Every structure is written in C-alpha cells, then in structure tokens.
C-alpha cells in the first residue's frame, strides 16, 4: 500500500486530494485514463485508495502491447523464423502470446530474436551485420512512431538496405472515438495521455468536448500530475465548462512537436483499417510505411501470413480495454490468466490494466473499499 506521503511533494498531493473531495461533493464521477502509463502509476502508487469513493477511474486502451491482435504476433513470429533474419523487438512484445506461442519461444526454437531499447539500436545491429537481414517489430503510439520514422530516414540516408520495419504503430484518436461511440460506457471526462501529446499536441482532442461534450485534461505521469488532472476535470464539471486543458505544461504544447509530426507524415501513412485486440477493426487507426519507404517495409519484403486469429473466448481484454469491466471482473483474471501465463495481452505488459492490477492492487482492493484510507487534511 502506498500513501500520498510517498509522492513527490506530498503536501501538494494532500491539497489536491482534499480539493477533489470538496469539489466532487460526493457526486459519482467516472474518468478514463487513456494511457497505460497512467494506469501503471495509479496502481503502483495506490491513487485509487486515496481518492474519495465517488471518484471512479477506468482504464483506457493506451497500452500498445495490449492492443496488438494475436494474428500480428503470429506474423512477427513468421518473420522471425525466416532464414538469416535477426528479429528485433521491444522487451514486452517478446512474451505476448500468438496462436502458436510467443517470440521468446520462437527464440528458443532457434530464431534470432533480440531485444532492443530503441529502433536505432536495431539499425546499429543491421550496420554491424551486413550479411544478415534485420527486421524491427515496430509498435507504439505517436510517442514511439517518430523514433521509428527517424530510424528509417537514417537507413535511407546511409543506404542501409538490410534493415526493414514491421509496422504496428497505432494512433490514439480513433480508439478514443470508438470508446466514445460505445453504448455501454458512460464517462464524465478523460485524463489525456502525456507523452503522446508532446508529439501530437492537444488540438487533435478537440472533438472530445466539441462533439461528445466531455472534458479532457492532458496530464503528466507523476502521482501528483494525475491528482491535479482529476482536480482540473472536476473544476470544469463544477463550473459547467467542457474543454481541453493541459496539466502537463512542462512538456506538452498545444501544437505538439511539429518536427516529429513532419517526420511522421513523410515516413508513414494511415492504413484504411487496423485490428485492435478486443476493439475489432478501427478505421484509420494504424500506420504503415509510405510508398517512399516501401524498400524498408517488412510486409512487402517478406510473405507475411496475415491470418486473423480470434481472441481466446475466455479472455475479456476487449471489455477491460474499453473500461466496461474492471480487471478483476474478468472470468479468468488471476486464475487461468496471470503474468506468468497470460491469456490476454492486458496481463502481459506491466502497463496493461490486468497486470498492473494483479501486481499492485488485488490484495488491497477489498480492504481499501471496506475502509477507505483516511486522507490527512492539509
């Protein structure tokens, strides 16, 4: 169990918690944190336990590992098992199960699968191994996609031809729209993603208040940031306002990072549709390489199976990703599905709502609900 005392500047955190109690005045409010990083912070620091019971946080689809469908993992394994291929991936994707196992198991079978921290590391591997083909498994939202784009620009500039990218980059706005269109979810507002917004800015979220009448506050990742984000949402509701606000002003500009957006536009183009685990196909939500970078597109260089694989029936990742159910309400949570043997992707990544809850929240939820942790007054 964590307390506000352990937050950076706990006095400020106490003030924020008290203001949340005063402004919300006992009225039930349901906010979605879009980003997996927020979900992780909320569970790790026990934010739900310091909030009044009338403030409910639901977890959004902002974990790009969690939303990768099984078919794409099968495609990645097929690429990794190509002869002479060095397949590079961020660490968390290595354990995500496809229909026939995961990348770690493919590595155990003999595939040359390597974990990298950055796509630029994958490019360095290609430069060091000119006789081999290096494929990078690109995942992530707009925070990560520019790094892939910069890597591709460098590959072209340096004439590195033994490098290619299997793009699974996704964009944040289409799933937000899908969630807002979902009839089974009623939200009072959104805690907007922090570092995605450093790239895309706050303007792309304008439709949230304009069309759907919901406030959105872009927030940073410190516990204090999230508490202040909730305060700002509640102030809007109290004042009858509905707009985009920026809590994370130390990093996010309204216009975003224009250089990164230019690079994205040069290297990528929107796919007509892309499958999201649990959410189905969402139009214009995925990025593929633009024709100018076709030579570095792994999906064009190799025969990728591209078979659609249905999610396991027992898994309710879709409902969790949409915030319709809490992780512990899934039928297989903590029994058949654990971080050691995940069935759904939400249990794989440490930022997945199920894994975050399994690691931090499951033992204390009932106790905390029964006897709310008293918050000291400021």
- Binding interface with another protein (CB under 8 A): 5-6, 8-12, 14, 35-37, 40, 62-66, 90-92, 117-121, 139-141, 143-144, 146-147, 150, 153, 193-196, 198-199, 221-222, 224-225, 228, 249-253, 257, 259-260, 263, 349-352, 359, 376-378
Contacting residues for 203 by C-beta, under 8 A, at least 6 apart? 244, 254, 255, 256
Least separation in angstroms between CB 8 and another protein: 5
Query: Number of C-alpha atoms within 13 angstroms, CB side, residue 82?
Result: 22
User: Rounded to the nearest whole angstrom, what is the least distance from the CB of residue 119 to another protein in the complex?
Assistant: 7
Cβ-based nearer residue to another protein, 5 or 84: 5
**CB-wise, 38 or 301, nearer to another protein?**
38
| SS3 per-residue string spanning 15-76 | HHHHHHHHHHCCCCEEEEEEEHHHHHHHHHCCHHHHCCCCEEEEEEEECCCCCCCHHHHHHH
CB of 28 to another protein, least distance (A): 27
- Neighbouring CB atoms inside 10 A of 161's CB total 14
CB of 259 to another protein, least distance (A): 5
Nearer to another protein, 43 or 333 (CB): 43
Instruction: Provide the 3-class DSSP secondary structure of residue 315.
Output: coil
Complex with another protein: residue 173 or 181, whichever CB lies closer = 173
For residues 135 and 139, which CB has a smaller minimum distance to another protein in the complex? 139
The number of angstroms, rounded, from the C-alpha of 319 to the middle of its chain's C-alpha atoms is: 15
Q: At closest approach, how far in Å is the CB of 147 from another protein? A: 4
Residue with tokens 């995942």: 139
CB of 62 to another protein, least distance (A): 7
Distance of closest approach, residue 370 Cβ to another protein, in angstroms: 24
CA distances, 155 to each of 15, 149, 294 (Å)? 50, 10, 12
156 three-class SS: helix
Q: Round to whole Å and give the CA distance between 328 and 360.
A: 12
**Nearest CB to another protein, comparing residues 10 and 52:** 10
Of 27 and 121, CB closest to another protein: 121
Nearest to 232 by CA among 241, 205, 223: 241
């Amino acid at each position: 169990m964590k307390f506000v005392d352990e937050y950076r500047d706990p006095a400020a955190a106490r003030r924020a918690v008290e203001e949340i109690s005063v402004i919300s005045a006992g009225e039930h409010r349901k906010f979605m944190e879009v980003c997996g990083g927020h979900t992780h912070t909320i569970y790790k620091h026990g934010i739900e336990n310091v909030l009044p019971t009338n403030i409910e946080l639901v977890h959004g689809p902002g974990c790009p590992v969690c939303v990768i469908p099984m078919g794409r993992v099968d495609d990645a394994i097929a690429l990794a098992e190509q002869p002479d291929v060095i397949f590079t991936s961020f660490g968390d994707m290595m354990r995500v199960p496809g229909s026939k196992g995961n990348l770690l198991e493919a590595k155990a079978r003999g595939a040359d699968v390597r974990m990298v921290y950055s796509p630029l590391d994958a490019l360095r591997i290609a430069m060091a191994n000119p006789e081999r083909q290096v494929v990078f498994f690109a995942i992530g939202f707009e925070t990560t996609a520019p790094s892939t784009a910069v890597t591709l620009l460098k590959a072209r500039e340096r004439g590195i031809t033994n490098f290619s990218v299997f793009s699974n980059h996704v964009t944040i706005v289409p799933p937000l729209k899908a969630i807002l269109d979902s009839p089974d979810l009623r939200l009072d507002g959104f805690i907007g993603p922090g570092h995605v917004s450093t790239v895309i800015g706050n303007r792309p979220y304008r439709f949230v208040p304009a069309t759907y009448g919901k406030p959105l506050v872009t927030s940073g990742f410190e516990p204090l940031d999230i508490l202040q984000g909730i305060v700002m949402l509640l102030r809007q509701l109290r004042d009858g306002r509905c707009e985009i606000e920026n809590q994370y002003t130390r990093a996010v500009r309204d216009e975003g990072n224009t250089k990164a957006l230019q690079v994205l536009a040069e290297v990528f183009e929107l796919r007509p549709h892309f499958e999201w685990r649990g959410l189905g196909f969402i139009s214009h939500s995925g990025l593929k390489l633009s024709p100018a970078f076709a030579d570095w597109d792994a999906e064009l260089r190799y025969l990728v199976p591209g078979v659609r694989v249905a999610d396991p029936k027992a898994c309710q990742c879709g409902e969790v990703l949409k915030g319709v159910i809490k992780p512990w309400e899934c039928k297989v949570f903590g029994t058949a599905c654990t971080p050691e043997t995940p069935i759904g992707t939400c249990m794989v990544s440490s930022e997945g709502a199920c894994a975050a809850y399994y690691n931090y929240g499951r033992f204390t939820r009932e106790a905390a609900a029964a006897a709310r942790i008293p918050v000291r007054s400021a």
